[in-house]
Amino acid sequence: MYDIDATHDPKLKSWVASANETGAEFPIQNLPFGRFRPAGSNGGWRIGVAIGDQVLDLRVAGLIDIDDMNALMASAPQERAALRRRISEGLREGSGDKAAWSEALLAQSKCEFTVPCKVGDYTDFYTGIHHATNIGKQFRPDQPLMPNYKWVPIGYHGRASSIVVSGQDFKRPSGQTKAPDAAEPSYGPCKRLDYELELAYYIGAGNALGEPVPMADAEAHLFGVGLFNDWSARDIQAWEYQPLGPFLSKNFASTVSPWMVTMEALAPFRCAFKRPEGDPQPLPYLDSKGNRERGQLDITVEVLLQTGKMREAGTAPHRLAMSRIAEAAYWTAAQLVAHHTVNGCNLQPGDLLGSGTLSGPTPDAAGSLIEQTQGGKQPILLPNGETRTFLEDGDTLILRGWCEREGAVRIGFGEARGTVRG
């Protein structure tokens, strides 16, 4: 487990003034990693750390001599901790690095960003028990959860090549669908486009083929966490998902936030992993003392929608849902790593593990439209009078996340934003 140290001190302030503002997403206690370049530049992607409304170019600051984020992620936890301490020391008030490092800062508003690392493989899990139950009730009222759900972390292999960074539009997907009363399927644009509120867990150091990662070591293989929207074509999914799971209904686009909040930064925001009374306890390979005591992440996430009409009128996005991960996730990130590798599967630096839709226990915490609208039967009324059952062309969907706790400085995750185009 990652420990709380001097870099988390709530009294720390930065000489970057915007990092000290109340509610700042990127105070000096955060220091998330991402890849950027000056807007309009055709140069290569650089490794940066967010501080306030600025980006610190780590190479220009003399902190690293590479531009390969995956190689940095593969370094040992103690090396990463040392780099975090050095960045924290150089950015804090009174630092002798201020003059030199000021030349390594660039305003985020003058940057463009890409996916924070090269994602080689992507696996999407199904850890949100409330989401799984809500969806199950629509299709299997007598048995919402399959018998294996509470025993094994369910997942499927997704498509890494279509993962895009926040701010990019994507085209409405087409595929086969079949109406319940139709004799044959038809082909055309998706009519039931949805979002899924998820977290992205990024792998740091990998494991050798054939060597499972035990629970005691699983945390050391996690680099950080970002926001993740696994766009879903529900009508295409309903026709194709039996017997092998989602395919074209999922692989057309997934949106991530540009920043990876490191496991070190999240140390103050851990909580106990508990199963509801009466539920089975994890099998031994998915259990450890550390995971029981501090395995869960206490992150709050929210979903906002801005329609094309709202954007034209200058109306702010409308919140659709807000959820806490500690209430939503049935499995921890460490358990996903242990299960993914128990058969000897080799994870590699930059691999992405999607959490699955993280719906909370109440309707206002539902992490997808298929839940909120009961499969399209109960439209959502928006403040401007528009209604939605599923996403329409021109709709912008925004995910945001943050951690806050007494005795610690609030940290944010940025946002994962995407717009549907016809």
* 29 and 152, same domain (yes or no): no
Whether 139 has a pLDDT exceeding 80, the answer reads no
355 domain residue, yes or no: yes
* 61 and 151, same domain (yes or no): no
1 domain residue, yes or no: no
Could you report the per-residue pLDDT of 317-353, keeping only the tens digit for each? 999 999 999 999 999 999 999 999 999 999 999 999 9
| CATH code at position 33 | 2.30.30.230
**Final residue before a domain boundary, out of 49, 84, 113:** 113
pLDDT at 382 (0 to 100): 98
* 97 and 217, same domain (yes or no): no
* 82 and 141, same domain (yes or no): no
- Provide the residue range defining the domain that includes 21: 6-113
**Final residue before a domain boundary, out of 59, 87, 113:** 113
Percent of the chain past pLDDT 90, that is, above it, reads 91
List, by residue number, the catalytic residues: 131
* Angstrom distance (rounded) from CA 309 to CA 251: 28
* 163 and 87, same domain (yes or no): no
96 domain residue, yes or no: yes
* 182 and 62, same domain (yes or no): no
User: At 312, is the secondary structure helix, strand, or coil?
Assistant: helix
pLDDT at 154 (0 to 100): 87
Q: φ, ψ for residue 54 (rounded to 5)?
A: -115, 165
59 domain residue, yes or no: yes
Domain count, the chain: 2
16 domain residue, yes or no: yes
Task: List Cα–Cα distances, 90 to 2, 55, 60, in angstroms.
Answer: 22, 14, 13
Whether 273 has a pLDDT exceeding 80, the answer reads yes
* 216 and 330, same domain (yes or no): yes
Q: What is the pTM of this model?
A: 0.96
318 domain residue, yes or no: yes
Whether 1 has a pLDDT exceeding 80, the answer reads no
